[in-house]
């Protein structure tokens, strides 16, 4: 339906914050016809009961398994007829300006497939880093996914060339990729690239989607006049550090397998493995000098990731 909006929120065990997200949508309702979909990925908390009891206006889809971010979003994307879609994480809260500025921006810029707001902390300060990354590359992996990060992150040129776009809080600016936490897009443009790739179980689905849109010649923008509150990483707080790293590297390796040549696929794994060996060796030596439980846990976590990498 032309000039209508579908809002999609995929949830897994974050019912306590999802309610704030839904309340904010209702409080700052879009000016065009819209529907809100919540896709629950087999949560073990009381999310489903809360939605059924307190949010009758929400279209609820309950999965018997955890399908991951991409597949769960695709459940809605494959069936909606709306012109626009707003894909949200449950830890997002609307503000007064959120939808208005994003919608107007897409209407005024036909060559833009998707855009995103600037994300704020709970205290309304800007989350200025970590959400508008450059596309994955060997250089990015070496400089920012290894211990070289401590040096690389201090170099402004390296950061802007290989790591992330600099946020402009006053002007709209083009980006490589839109963060999956908050994607406002034209449904027809997402349909052209097949929506989210189901080969990603979790993480990098948004990176892949942005990459495919760029390959089709579409532009992606951040719109600083639009703002949301973003708590960040709520689902991952329930996981061990090693499990989060494995999930992250799995997504990275899938991206390389789909979009890079065989040599780059081998090298990206080698870079990560050598860095893990370096860190394990370094901390093991430090543990000999001064044993601590933190060092034991660090080594245990890194070994778990390294063993997974060797058999992946």
- Residues in the chain, total: 312
Averaged pLDDT, 226-231: 93
The total number of structural domains that make up the chain: 2
Averaged pLDDT, 119-136: 87
What pLDDT is recorded for position 233?
62
**Is this structure's pTM higher than 0.85?**
yes
The boundaries of the domain holding residue 184 are 5-132+167-236
CA distance 92 to 22: 9
CA distance 238 to 16: 14
Averaged pLDDT, 4-16: 93
What pLDDT is recorded for position 269?
97
Going by pLDDT thresholds of 50, 70 and 90, the confidence category of residue 168 is confident
Most trustworthy range by pLDDT among 12-16, 47-51, 254-258, 292-296: 254-258
Exposure letters 56-74 (e unless 16+ CB within 10 A, then b): eebebeebeebbbbbbbbb
For residue 150, tell me if it sits in a domain.
no
- Which of 211, 236, 261 terminates a domain? The answer is 236
- What number of CA atoms fall less than 13 Å from residue 238's CA on the CB side? 8
> 193 and 92, same structural domain?
yes
Exposure letters 87-118 (e unless 16+ CB within 10 A, then b): bbbbbbbbbeebbebbbebbeeeeebbbbbbb
pLDDT greater than 90 at residue 54: yes
- Which of 176, 201, 236 terminates a domain? The answer is 236
What rounded mean pLDDT belongs to the chain?
93
- The 10s digit of each residue's pLDDT in 175-222 is 999 999 999 999 999 999 999 999 998 899 999 999 999 999 999 999
What pLDDT is recorded for position 231?
86
> 249 and 107, same structural domain?
no
- Which of 182, 210, 236 terminates a domain? The answer is 236
């Amino acid at each position: 339906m032309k000039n209508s909006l579908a809002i999609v929120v995929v949830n897994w065990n974050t019912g306590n914050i999802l309610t704030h997200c839904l309340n904010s949508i209702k409080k700052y309702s879009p000016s065009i016809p819209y529907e809100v979909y919540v896709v629950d990925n087999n949560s073990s908390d009381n999310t489903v009961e809360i939605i059924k009891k307190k949010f009758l206006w929400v279209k609820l889809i309950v999965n018997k398994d955890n399908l991951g971010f991409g597949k769960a979003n695709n459940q809605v994307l494959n069936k909606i007829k709306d012109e626009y879609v707003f894909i949200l994480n449950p830890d997002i809260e609307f503000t007064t300006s959120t939808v208005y500025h994003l919608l107007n921006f897409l209407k005024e810029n036909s060559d833009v497939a998707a855009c995103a707001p600037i994300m704020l902390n709970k205290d309304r300060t800007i989350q200025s880093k970590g959400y508008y990354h450059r596309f994955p590359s060997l250089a990015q992996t070496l400089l920012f996914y290894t211990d070289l990060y401590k040096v690389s992150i201090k170099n402004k040129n390296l950061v802007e060339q290989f790591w992330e776009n600099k946020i402009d809080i006053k002007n709209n600016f083009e980006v490589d990729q839109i963060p999956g936490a908050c994607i406002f897009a034209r449904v027809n443009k997402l349909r052209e690239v097949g929506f989210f790739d189901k080969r990603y179980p979790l993480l990098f689905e948004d990176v892949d989607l942005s990459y495919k849109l760029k390959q089709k010649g579409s532009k992606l923008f951040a719109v600083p006049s639009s703002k949301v509150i973003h708590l960040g990483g709520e689902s991952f707080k329930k996981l061990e550090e090693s499990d989060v790293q494995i999930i992250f590297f799995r997504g990275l390796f899938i991206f390389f397998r789909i979009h890079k040549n065989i040599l780059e696929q081998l090298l990206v794994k080698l870079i990560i493995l050598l860095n893990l060996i370096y860190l394990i060796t370094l901390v093991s030596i430090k543990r000999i000098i001064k044993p601590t439980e933190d060092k034991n846990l660090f080594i245990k976590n890194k070994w778990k990731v390294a063993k997974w990498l060797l058999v992946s």
